[in-house]
Structure 1
Amino acid sequence: MNKIVAIMAGSVWKVLVQPGDLVEEGRDVIILESMKMEIPITADFSGTVKEVKVNEGDFVNEEELLIEME
Structure 2
Amino acid sequence: MSEVAAPMPGTIVQILVKEGDQVSEDQDVMILEAMKMENPIAAPAGGAVASITVKEGDKVDAGQVLMTIE
With normalisation by structure 2, the TM-score equals 0.97
Matches within 5 A, 1:37-52: 37-52=37-52
Structure 1 residue ranges without an equivalent (≥5):
none
> What is the aligned-residue RMSD (CA, Å)?
0.6
Q: Which aligned runs of 4 or more in structure 1 are off by greater than 3 angstroms?
A: none
Task: Supply the distance in 2 between the matched residues of 1:6 and 1:32 (Cα, whole angstroms).
Answer: 8
Alpha-carbon shift at residue 35 of structure 1 (Å): 1.4
Structure 1-normalised TM-score?
0.97
Q: Structure 1 residue 69: deviation in Å? A: 1.0
Match of residue 66 from structure 1: 66
In the alignment, which residue of structure 2 is the partner of 1:27? 27
Unaligned runs of 5+ in 2: none
